[in-house]
């Protein structure tokens, strides 16, 4: 036979257990608070892997996009009849909605980082290509003629005169393409490409937990700012004559 003392203990536990909980006793992620500082401190490490994946996606995609767009720009700079088809082709790719682009590639490349990199690289082509062409077109004709006058070949003029003088526009395009890629890369999670979009759209917390959105979104903003400032510093480093002009 069960002791009355045991029933009394169980009764006490049951009374506390069924007591209604308030917002003060609920976990922060179950409330409507804008930001949960304690949760952020304890769980910030869960964003380290998505942040690293995001950086890799951006660097690889921009590098591939720059190589392709720069080659197209040099080719169309020599053969101007190629400009309309190149502009049309890169423009069509740029106008495809990002999420749709990821899903269009899935039957061809499957889910994973490769699909995300292909789509992200395609979005950089128009920006980098146009800026490179503009930079090459803005090179002073007198500088080209002076180089030709001292016996430089067309190849030497391109690499020693035109491209160096076009660096400001080239870096401007690279900067815009990089910052925009940081933003678009958050959607790579729909192709299972990883990145900071994973905790926003694919994690167990999702878009309903405001602290999660603020941390992941804030990291993306800081990453875009860091890339932008780095490229701005590199531009000033490789164009010393521009510093002299501004001073």
Report the CATH number that the domain containing residue 134 is assigned in CATH.
1.10.3720.10
Query: Does any domain span residue 220?
Result: yes
Query: Does any domain span residue 22?
Result: no
Q: How many domains does the chain have?
A: 1
Q: 224 lies in which domain range? A: 45-246
Query: Does any domain span residue 224?
Result: yes
Query: Does any domain span residue 31?
Result: no
The backbone region for 95, taken as left when phi is positive above 0, alpha when psi lies in -120 to 50, beta otherwise, is alpha
- Predicted pLDDT at 241: 66
- Predicted pLDDT at 8: 45
Decide: residue 235, CB within 10 A, 0-12 exposed, 13-18 middle, 19+ buried: middle
CA distances from 44 to 36, 41, 140, 168, 244 (A): 11, 6, 52, 38, 44
- Predicted pLDDT at 34: 73
- Predicted pLDDT at 246: 54
Which pTM value belongs to this model? 0.82
Query: Does any domain span residue 106?
Result: yes
- Predicted pLDDT at 81: 94
- Predicted pLDDT at 98: 85
Query: Does any domain span residue 213?
Result: yes
Query: Does any domain span residue 28?
Result: no
> Is residue 138 helix, strand or coil?
coil
Please tell me the number of Cα atoms within 13 Å of 221 on its side-chain side. Answer: 6
pLDDT along the chain (247 residues), means of 10: 47 48 55 75 88 95 97 94 93 88 88 91 95 94 90 90 92 94 91 87 71 89 94 85 57
Query: Does any domain span residue 25?
Result: no
């Amino acid at each position: 036979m069960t002791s009355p003392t045991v029933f009394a203990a169980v009764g006490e536990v049951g009374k506390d257990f069924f007591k209604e909980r308030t917002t003060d006793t609920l976990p922060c992620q179950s409330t409507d608070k804008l930001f949960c500082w304690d949760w952020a401190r304890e769980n910030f490490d869960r964003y380290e892997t998505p942040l690293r994946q995001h950086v890799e996606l951006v660097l690889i995609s921009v590098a591939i996009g720059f190589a392709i767009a720069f080659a197209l720009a040099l080719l169309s700079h020599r053969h101007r009849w190629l400009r309309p088809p190149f502009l049309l082709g890169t423009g069509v790719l740029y106008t495809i909605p990002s999420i749709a682009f990821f899903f269009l590639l899935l039957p061809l490349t499957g889910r994973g980082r490769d699909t995300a990199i292909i789509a992200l690289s395609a979005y950089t082509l128009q920006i980098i290509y146009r800026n490179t062409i503009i930079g090459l077109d803005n090179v002073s004709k007198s500088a080209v003629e002076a180089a030709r006058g001292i016996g430089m070949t067309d190849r030497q003029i391109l690499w020693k005169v035109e491209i160096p003088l076009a660096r400001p526009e080239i870096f401007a395009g690279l900067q815009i393409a990089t910052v925009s890629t940081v933003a678009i890369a958050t959607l790579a999670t729909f192709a299972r490409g990883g990145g900071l979009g994973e905790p926003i759209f694919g994690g167990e917390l999702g878009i309903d937990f405001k602290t999660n959105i603020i941390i992941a979104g804030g990291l993306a903003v800081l990453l875009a700012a860091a890339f932008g400032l780095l490229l701005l510093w590199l531009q000033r480093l490789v164009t010393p004559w521009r510093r002299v002009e501004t001073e």
